[in-house]
Each structure stands twice: as C-alpha cells, then as structure tokens.
Amino acid sequence: MKRFISITLLYLFAVLLVVLPPEVYKIVTNADIENIEGREIRIAVCKSKTKTNRKIRRLILGDSTGHALYPSANTYNDAVSLACNQAATMAGQYFLLKNYLETNTENLPAEIVLLFTPGTFDNDVDIFAYHYFLKPFPLYEYKSQYTPHLYSRIKSIPFYWTANLPFIQTTNYTPTKAVPAEEERSNLSVLSLEYLLKIDSLARQYGVPYNIRSTPVREDSKARVESILQDLLNVSNPNIKEKMRGYVQTVEYYPSEWFFDDVHLSPAHIPSDYLEDTL
C-alpha cells in the first residue's frame, strides 16, 4: 500500500514538474494573455481605470453587439468605448462606469451611451459569469458593490471563490460545474434592473446625462424583440421607464442576411459610426 501511494505521488510530481514551469512562466510574464477569451472585458476594465487626456464627448458602454460597433481596443477622436460583452452583466457595466467616472472626475464625458441588444437585459448571472464576470471583476475588489441579489447569484456558482486564484485568473479555465442555480427567466432580470438603477443614480451624481440605445436587430426576430420591448416598458421605476421608452424608439431592424448570427452584424455591414449615423 505504501509503495502504491508513494509511486502514485511520484508520478503526480513528475507530471507537475513537466507542466508547471511553462505555466508559471506564462503567469509571471503574462505571455498567454493574448489567448484569453473575453479579452475585451479586461481591456475595458483597464481603460476604465485610465485617465483620459483629451476632451471626451461620449463614453460608450455596451454588450458584444455594442463592442462590434465600437471595439473597446480602438481609439476614437472624442469618444471612449468600454463596450465589451453581455456576459459581464449589468453589474459589470456599472463597475466599468464607476471606475471611469472616479478616474476621470476632472474630465467627465458630455454624455454616456449604453449600447445593448434587447436580449442583454435578461442576464441574471449565467453560465459564462465565472469567466466573464468573476475573473475580470475580482471579488476582493468589487464585492463591496454587490447587491444582496448579485451576491446570492454569484454564490450559487460552484467554486466561484476559485476564479481569482492567480493560476486560474489568467487562464480560460472554468470548473466543469460553473453553472449558477436556475432562476426564472425574465426579459429584464432583477440584476439588470438593480444595476440600471445604480447606473442612473451614478450618472445623476456626476451630472452626466445618459441614454440607453439599441444596436441593430434582425428583421426576422421582430416578433420576439417586440415582446421583449413590451416587457422592458413595463418596468415600474419612472426613471428607468423613461430611459426604456427612449431605448425602444432606437430599435432599428436590419435585413437578416446582414447578420452572421442571431444578434451580431457581419463585418461588411457594420456602420462606420453607428451613433452618428442614426442620431
């Protein structure tokens, strides 16, 4: 028995000896950072904490459809884009906005635009949250800004606490069961509403006007989208209701063949400056 255990441990040690050095090297030097999925969120986090040295007219936040229109890695004349991914949740959008406004108190943008496809508001922490939310927004830094609902959703992800371990943080690793407990789906999730309210009061606090705008939507999904919009308009909070009214008016239907999937425009059909073109 002793021999069996010793030899098993020796094999484990030998495997670690082969595997660990290159992994440690990658972590220490950030050599593998290019291959991490959801880089756009990490880029957005970095940019949100960076001082802008020019006058900014528009700060753009958004999901992946917004990111397709205004990639966060690009530089714009009078705009900054922190648009990233819907998996970052509305809480992630709030954290980005808060970071940016706190860092650029002296140089606030003239307006904030939130660019979302209608389906984004239903995110109440999904299966991607371990990688796309917990890793770029570490618990130790953002937990104090969690609402009880967000915390309960995060706690329902098995092994959520491992996401910020250094050797997991900079990898694509996700535990096999990183799936939060099922919640009743709603087109405007509890989480989205909570953090839209926070975004609303944050924008008021800094005196920066904000708008929620829709990215282009497939023509053949009109029926589904109309029903989502109806739900969004049913929100009871008057401030958010007003913003949602504005949001609904910005929904534009594009030919379905212009999209390469349910929500993303094909590169050939992405307008050069969607907001300027449509405003």
Shortest reach from residue 176's CB to another protein, in Å: 4
Report the residue number, 173 or 254, with the smaller CB distance to another protein.
173
DSSP one-letter code for 130:
I
Place of tokens 């239907």: 253
Q: Is 268 in the site for another protein (CB under 8 A)?
A: no
Report the residue number, 159 or 253, with the smaller CB distance to another protein.
159
Rounded CA-CA distance 65/217 in Å is 10
Sole binder of another protein in the list 6, 14, 239, 245 (CB under 8 A): 14
Sole binder of another protein in the list 4, 182, 267, 277 (CB under 8 A): 4
Please give the torsion angle defined by the CA atoms of residues 92, 98, 104 and 110, in that order, rounded to the nearest 10 degrees: 90
User: Phi-psi bin for 270: left (phi > 0), alpha (psi -120 to 50), beta?
Assistant: beta
Question: Which residues on adjacent β-strands are paired with residue 168?
Answer: none
CB-based contact 163:139 (threshold 8 Å): yes
Question: Which residues on adjacent β-strands are paired with residue 115?
Answer: 62, 213
User: Contacts with another protein in 137-176 (CB under 8 A)?
Assistant: 159, 173-176
Question: How many Cβ atoms from other residues are within 10 Å of residue 5's Cβ?
Answer: 9
- Window contacting another protein (CB under 8 A); options: 85-93, 177-185, 186-194, 266-274: 177-185
Shortest reach from residue 219's CB to another protein, in Å: 20
Residue 55, CA atoms < 13 Å, CB-side half-sphere:
2
CA distances from 64 to 1, 84, 85, 211 (A): 55, 5, 4, 18
Sole binder of another protein in the list 11, 25, 151, 167 (CB under 8 A): 11
Each residue 91-110 as x (binds another protein by CB under 8 A) or -, in order, gives --------------------
Size of site (CB under 8 A) for another protein:
18
Each residue 18-57 as x (binds another protein by CB under 8 A) or -, in order, gives xx--------------------------------------
Residues that bind another protein (CB under 8 A): 1, 3-4, 7-8, 11, 14-15, 18-19, 159, 173-179
